[in-house]
Amino acid sequence: MRIEGASALVAGGASGLGEATARGLVEAGAAVTIADLNAEKGKALAAEMGPSATFVEADVTDETAVSAAVERAASHDGGLRISVCCAGIGWAERVAHKGGPHNLEFFSNVVKVNLIGSFNVLRLAAAAISENEPDGEGERGVCINTASIAAYDGQIGQTAYAASKGGIVGMTLPAARDLAPRGVRVVTIAPGLFDTPLLAALPEEARTALGAGIPFPSRLGRPEEYAQLVGQIVTNPMLNGETIRLDGALRMPPK
């Protein structure tokens, strides 16, 4: 499928991996709708990127807000063709510790945002994409979700985060099978350690040490490398029902 001339939705697109994806898609010729809770950053980014970018304030767990973002993206000629969900949050806490058991509300909130939010974007975007006219190969569009290598190598204190990201991995194949008759592909990216705002808060020493632990390249991933993979998924029709680790061969230790 061609990126040029397509309409795309990037949920969680105001910063980090989502921002890089929005920039990459606009540079490749797509019209991009950025959906994010951070209105200040989202509006500024859309204004910077020009008429090919639009911002819609949205919480991925809010059906009405995501529906509005999908509708905005689908209003372009040819309808919504590309949906990318990068929205997510983290939390670190052991299952049981000196202070007692893991906080159930925090666990539920991580799962709600990361897993249920991703599914909310997926289902609403896929429904809109299904209304498109298919291309010459019968394809109507593609939905890309963001998991994490924590889905496979969750560390101490990452039970909530790993469970939420593991759920995204687990729904990828059945979702792709569900949507195959409609010509809609579903692919998940599982990034390793990337140079995003989350890691930017760490001291430079700590960031360098994290990068050095990656087999090759021995550095933190760059958000534009995530965006590059998004572009490759969009344009390669045989990528479907798969989760792709993007981690430089990193396998996370227990802590």
Q: Is 226 an annotated catalytic residue?
A: no
Question: Which strands form 141-146's sheet, in the order they lie side by side?
Answer: 53-57, 31-36, 7-11, 80-85, 141-146, 184-191, 243-246
88: which 2 tokens? 């997510």
Q: Which of 91, 107, 119, 161 is catalytic?
A: 161
Nearest in space to 179 (alpha carbons), one of 86, 241, 233: 241
Could you tell me which residues are beta bridge partners of residue 82? 8, 142
Residue 38 CA to residue 59 CA, distance in Å, equals 9
Contacts for 93 with CB less than 8 Å, ≥ 6 apart: 102, 103, 106, 157, 159, 160
For residue 135, the one-letter residue type is D
Chain centre distance of CA 171? 14
Q: Which residues are catalytic?
A: 161
